[in-house]
Structure 1
């Protein structure tokens, strides 16, 4: 691919080799593209601390596009007015950014009105507009109360209503109480876009609103990820997550109803002794790649303590940010909810590799059990027993935790699977065996592994295809029939790190209720 010095309309499949000047200044790629252009790209093999931002001609920050720290390397962008440069920061050796899509997409208008309302407030506003009134008072009230609106429905269940003001061509919800990127409806010809749901009173979810999502050509996946080009926090929601996100695109919005289960360990506390982190690079000749491994040692770590627990997780970057494992373990040990616990956090080289390795790659499972774990244990100075070792993950990491533990029960005796993707099956699997993992469990001898499964009530899909909720329920049933110590906890949630961060500690407490601390 040729190196480029500026990006012009229509350039695709090109690489910008960003040479980072001394002194920490950003290397800039001028954007000679129209406002409304859709760009898709990624950082290639970035070193620690590398970031990619969108800035204006004066160097003012507009948007964080990619960051090595969070593991978010791919980016999708609808170029706004005033955008002038891509600004790359990283080590002095530089880094590469590949631009794979560069086009001006269509913007089909989303006409979506409704004459029936779950929300009493939306029904009243519709009547106001029909009588010649305006939306001014409604928006003033929404700004004061915050969004989503929460009301009581006719059946007594809460009704939540997402709101967005003034989109031109439509709004989609990323993280709605469904399994899809639900479109919002426009109220008549007003500036109100909305969508209402009846939900359980213990609902917890995070979401973003995506106005005017570009309609891009390409595969199903290319069209689907285009929502990330405009997805941003809800401007009227008062609960951003994470609170320190650098811009509106780096933050989600939280909804936690009063009966949502407690998450007592996720907030950092100043009065709690902090563990330490060590990172090293693991290179696999078998997998032909390298990845970061992070080791967590609790405060006053004693590797000779026979009661020590070991937590091993996939998606190591996310399990330090979205799910703050070090903070959770610090707090659980301080509250004596766990004995001394160490952790090994296994990161992915990139998202494409994650999709190839985690769901069902036997070579990856072998490398984890027979190569990564022994090296990490050696560095920790720890001898781990399978009975006190937990393998945990979410989504593809959830199915990987179960499948790896079942393949190597002499290493991993416990599993925490958060919204595991048990709908997955290898290419060519017969339609009658699409729930591949459940079939393998049914056909194999029982392994000495205890399993804690979770799934979100909103993770139900279309009737014609398996979904996370139904496949977790089925796996639980199959494992129980085989005699496994297995439990499934369901949450009023979506496919969401916001619920997973609490479910992780729920799983640890469920697996080790009598943890044997030194009283």
Structure 2
């Protein structure tokens, strides 16, 4: 895999572009031909939740048409496109679906021009009526994700802790999802073993939920690598990635590796754990790894360990390989929150970038880094981190994907990053440093 993609060096715009709208002709024409609302909804479900058609005005885009039943005169249906809608939440009008009515059939429908390389979590939010101040503050906006609806059909559905449902939309030219989905033409891969527990951390001062995943071939071949990943709650349930690691290991693309995940039991403690906490390294070495080591013999060589995470987890991974290379000398840094700890969540570089800028050698450190094209100021800050890490001597594999601050994208990157950093057995040997 070539994970290094050339990218512009100029500062990106703070906000991603608002998608261009067009008439939802698929829905309008179907009703005009005599189809009922139920017929249209059934067809949408059959094609996977949304129609995807060429965009005659932009060859590198696709027209994505979504539909939902219209039930009440005072309701509005909004298409949430992660992260685009979030960054434009102060004005949701560009994302409100049209009303299409014909001879008693009533539907919400919208057609959006989106890049053909896009992968995004999308959902429908139905409000009665739509509050124009819904996105005025983060506090008012966050709860909307607990009452969203997925697109129709049997596509992959993500469910939040509060019960909100969303769908993963992958357009035709999105980055390949290696091993994420099972190939129905191949025999099923044996599932690995997942151990779950809780550590009442003496070092961090609060409890964390923990998981240890071992692929099926680990018992026979032994464990050749360790991945220490944050946000285990999301990666084991809402947007699960462990089956992909089973498939990658069975195919020989990834060495048998223990994936050890952690998440604060109270979400309010997440910033305390991941916000450049110097105690995090001690938690990993003295509490988490000994717990995981009770299930299998784990490598102690930091060159066979990877720390990884997204957002604040990406910041923590960057901090760990800089601060504690004795723990791990490989990092997966996804959409790192390099503004931290700016209380305004603004575009100013934060403390981590200043520390990397301050000198010191990162020779022997390997980093797989990615960030979404639609991530506003984070895109520029992650570009800056890449330059600083390379300047310090780290070997960085870097890419920008078409998407946002989104676990649907990060799951793909975690699989690709582990393969890049730990290697596989299909070629006969694990990855080694050049």
| Band of TM-score, shorter chain | 0.7 to 0.9
Shifted more, 171-180 versus 503-512: the winner is: 171-180
1:377-392 matched pairs, under 5 angstroms: 377=293, 380-392=296-308
Distance in 2 (alpha carbons) for counterparts of 1:218 and 1:199: 22
Q: Does 1:170 align with 2:69?
A: no
Distance in 1 (alpha carbons) for counterparts of 2:353 and 2:76: 40
Q: Counterpart in 2 of 1:506?
A: 416
The alpha carbon displacement at 1:442 in A equals 1.2
The alpha carbon displacement at 1:388 in A equals 0.9
Asked if the contact 2:120/2:409 (under 8 Å) is kept, the reply is: yes
Q: Does 1:254 align with 2:168?
A: yes
The alpha carbon displacement at 1:357 in A equals 2.0
1:110-149 matched pairs, under 5 angstroms: 118-119=21-22, 121-122=24-25, 125=28, 137=35, 139=37, 140-141=39-40, 143-145=42-44, 146=47, 147-149=49-51
Name the SS for the 2:235 alignment partner: helix
The alpha carbon displacement at 1:117 in A equals 6.7
Distance 1:381 1:150, change over 3 A: closer
The alpha carbon displacement at 1:379 in A equals 5.0
The alpha carbon displacement at 1:261 in A equals 2.8
The alpha carbon displacement at 1:411 in A equals 1.0
The alpha carbon displacement at 1:276 in A equals 1.9
Shifted more, 508-517 versus 495-504: the winner is: 508-517
Name the SS for the 1:343 alignment partner: strand
User: Which fold has the larger relative contact order, with Cα–Cα distance below 8 Å and residues 6 or more apart in sequence?
Assistant: 2
Q: Does 1:263 align with 2:177?
A: yes
Distance in 2 (alpha carbons) for counterparts of 1:338 and 1:395: 24
Match of 2:248 among 287, 307, 332: 332
Measured against aligned partners, the alpha-carbon deviations of 1:135-193 in whole angstroms (never above 9, x if no partner) come to 97595556425543323321222122444442624333333461524443354785554
Q: Counterpart in 1 of 2:258?
A: 342
Q: Does 1:489 align with 2:399?
A: yes
Runs of 4+ in 1 over 6 A off after TM superposition: 133-136, 216-219, 245-248
Q: Counterpart in 2 of 1:414?
A: 330
Match of 1:396 among 292, 312, 317: 312
Name the SS for the 1:402 alignment partner: helix
TM-score, L = length of structure 1:
0.64
Distance in 1 (alpha carbons) for counterparts of 2:344 and 2:197: 37
1:73-472 matched pairs, under 5 angstroms: 118-119=21-22, 121-122=24-25, 125=28, 137=35, 139=37, 140-141=39-40, 143-145=42-44, 146=47, 147-153=49-55, 154-156=57-59, 157-166=61-70, 168-176=74-82, 178=84, 180=86, 181=89, 182-183=92-93, 184-185=95-96, 187=98, 193-212=108-127, 215=131, 220-235=137-152, 237-242=153-158, 249-267=163-181, 271-301=188-218, 308-377=224-293, 380-427=296-343, 433-447=348-362, 448-459=364-375, 461=376, 466=377, 468-472=378-382
Distance 1:510 1:304, change over 3 A: closer
Q: Does 1:478 align with 2:388?
A: yes
Measured against aligned partners, the alpha-carbon deviations of 1:447-467 in whole angstroms (never above 9, x if no partner) come to 2321111122232x3xxxx2x
When the two chains are superposed, the root-mean-square deviation of aligned CA atoms in Å is 3.8
Shifted more, 169-178 versus 403-412: the winner is: 169-178
Shifted more, 257-266 versus 328-337: the winner is: 257-266
Measured against aligned partners, the alpha-carbon deviations of 1:282-313 in whole angstroms (never above 9, x if no partner) come to 222243322222222333536995x8111111
The alpha carbon displacement at 1:408 in A equals 0.7
Asked if the contact 1:473/1:488 (under 8 Å) is kept, the reply is: no
Q: Counterpart in 2 of 1:16?
A: none
Q: Counterpart in 1 of 2:16?
A: none
Distance in 2 (alpha carbons) for counterparts of 1:117 and 1:293: 43
Distance 1:408 1:159, change over 3 A: same
Distance in 1 (alpha carbons) for counterparts of 2:117 and 2:170: 8
Asked if the contact 1:303/1:381 (under 8 Å) is kept, the reply is: no
* Number of aligned positions between the proteins: 387
Unpaired runs of 5+ in structure 1?
1-115
Shifted more, 167-176 versus 403-412: the winner is: 167-176
TM-score, L = length of structure 2:
0.76
Distance in 1 (alpha carbons) for counterparts of 2:347 and 2:127: 40
Distance 1:327 1:176, change over 3 A: closer
Distance in 2 (alpha carbons) for counterparts of 1:272 and 1:304: 16
Measured against aligned partners, the alpha-carbon deviations of 1:332-368 in whole angstroms (never above 9, x if no partner) come to 1211112221221112212111133213222334323
The alpha carbon displacement at 1:124 in A equals 10
